[in-house]
Structure 1
């Protein structure tokens, strides 16, 4: 590899795989993907794994370009001065450029009892452990799902459809992203599945015990199994390595997704905070940011000026069990509209989207850079200008 530029991608999620595949469009670039697992995780199917209807994994050979070297390991430190990564196995990997796509995981809530009694569901291993817990529990075991975002709603629906007695503890509003009409549609479907929805301003969880979830208003929700889906956290690798991060731990970058500290480090996905105005943590954003991070690196290798990040949203899809779903339509800047599709049409659309994402990964592996049809948000530039120069300037130092 001495005569080739070596680019290492940390993280084999949606953003990381898209980035690695896009990088292969140049023959003079050698690509290594470092990931802790040998399989690609369909994170947006983890609720199905919990419910027993899918294993939520895909062989990397189906979605990763043949020329990408897969290193199964965990990065413990980034040495930007030496351009070297330290691995959990004790080895090291050098790089010319680095794409930081470590994604997100479970938040660490400061709620008594959560660590001891609640089960998160943001990683493959967490979902697998929860599946074992649910499978071993008697059918009448009361289950509480805490968190009313997509993960909470989908997990509650999946378990209820499987015959479990489920209470969804919202800690506020059911489906806060959704338009009120779509929210009512979700509520009706959950009710039809037998899910008890506990929402409102006083439904914040104050403690979790072995047999109950305790709320701010004094109520206790019976729960022998508690599932925690409230909030996401970001790995602290960047912060531990001395790179600038935002308050959540996301790597701070300019609008080209380049680290504000190092021109050789580029970020994508949930772990990136471009201009301190990050996009919603989502597969939708990651699938767009991954190839754009790769294009930033390729532009720098070619001696050009990278283009600013350009991400547009279409809305949010929800599974409401296997027979119903909801598609909430949104404007490109991720603000919702009144339009939504529900019922069986919503379920079919959600399944189409999930399958199409894997198909897009595979297509990028075979024909990198041939397809780039994402809708764009033309309002981001205005949003940045309205912050009166608070955003980091574009990094244009010589690599």
Structure 2
């Protein structure tokens, strides 16, 4: 390709910012980042916003390369034929390549009363609203957190540390990702904070009312504030634009992160489903996937064959209030192992990870192309096994 190349990045989260910064390696590439908000949201600190220890916002000037044009608006539709995106504020922005990095948000609870009476926490606006709601009720009032993933655990611990009366409803196992040893450590810390943990199949929420939560086993829990952290959804922009998605709405791509429908569209972050086998939603994955998406675009501009994504993991870190935390170590294939770091050292490592995630973005802005990551060849084995199983199923059916 000769002349200038216009690349539009839709979404200014961890993946989108990383991709936009990395694209500035070439002087003949014009990068436009479109995001609904004029400031970057540290999503991994939203529970701190609710607790009042952080505002979870970073100025884009601190993390975005100078050459990237920032447009504060919402993309309402992608015109693949015309290679342009329509904006809610009016007008369109054309592109030669588009990186789809719209991220994720709250999932539809699909539990009676949850949408009306429970408070989600997946976006900045949701967390800010919840902060006001929590502040308005007495500390002695019951708070129920639904969902036992990292966000649920962190929110429960943050509020309990402030003296709130918190119940964490798991609907299954506490911290599904964690190794049993790490899970026991988290349970011990929550108990010390006074959090009541309800786990097992009987603790699945069946209904939410204005002042209570009902469980599968028949229990009714008084609840002045019910916080919903169970599950994530993704924006439906890809589906509305006629692009192929998985059941959750993530853009279907090949292993280079290129849309199965359009070679000019590359996905990044939580909204990407490479080979219909998406990575775990996390900032750890988002930054690396964003970098790989940018590399795919740069390869195509240079007339080179993009590489397949090869991403390994380190583990998962969870804060347990301001004075404790856990880093659950994992194998490269993102499987938790016996090793973990808890207590005060775990809290310090969690804070280190939060700070350095933002630093990675800033470093990429100053020196695009600098981010590297650990590899994992087991993904290829998993893909071969999955495809082999699918082929065998088709053969048996024939």
Global fold match (TM > 0.5): yes
- Residue in 2 that maps onto 1:385: 384
- Residue in 2 that maps onto 1:350: 350
CA RMSD for the aligned pairs?
Answer: 1.0
Structure 1 distance, partners of 2:46, 2:196, is 22
Partner SS state of residue 386, structure 2 = coil
- Residue in 2 that maps onto 1:233: 233
- Residue in 1 that maps onto 2:364: 364
- Residue in 2 that maps onto 1:281: 281
Partner SS state of residue 70, structure 1 = strand
What is the 5 A alignment of 1:312-327?
312-327=312-327
What is the 5 A alignment of 1:190-339?
190-339=190-339
Structure 2 distance, partners of 1:215, 1:101, is 36
- Residue 155 of structure 1 pairs with residue 152 of structure 2: no
- Residue in 1 that maps onto 2:12: 12
- Residue in 1 that maps onto 2:393: none
Structure 2 distance, partners of 1:240, 1:109, is 21
- Residue in 2 that maps onto 1:396: none
Residue 371 (structure 1) shift:
3.3
Structure 2 distance, partners of 1:176, 1:139, is 29
Structure 1 distance, partners of 2:244, 2:371, is 33
Partner SS state of residue 190, structure 1 = helix
Partner SS state of residue 286, structure 2 = helix
Residue 110 (structure 1) shift:
1.1
How many pairs does the alignment contain?
389
CA displacement 1:247-293 (0-9 Å, x = unmatched)? 00000000000000000000010000000111001111101000100
CA displacement 1:334-372 (0-9 Å, x = unmatched)? 011000010000000000000001111000000001231
Unpaired segments ≥5 residues, structure 2: 391-398
Structure 2 distance, partners of 1:162, 1:40, is 27
Structure 1 distance, partners of 2:363, 2:387, is 40
Asked if the contact 2:171–2:205 (Cα under 8 Å) also holds between the matched residues in 1, the reply is yes
- Residue in 2 that maps onto 1:187: 187
Partner SS state of residue 387, structure 1 = helix
- Residue in 2 that maps onto 1:95: 95
Residue 389 (structure 1) shift:
5.4
Asked if the contact 2:291–2:371 (Cα under 8 Å) also holds between the matched residues in 1, the reply is no
TM-score (norm 2): 0.97
- Residue in 1 that maps onto 2:72: 72
4+ residue runs of structure 1 moved beyond 4 angstroms?
none
Unpaired segments ≥5 residues, structure 1: 392-399
Residue 91 (structure 1) shift:
1.4
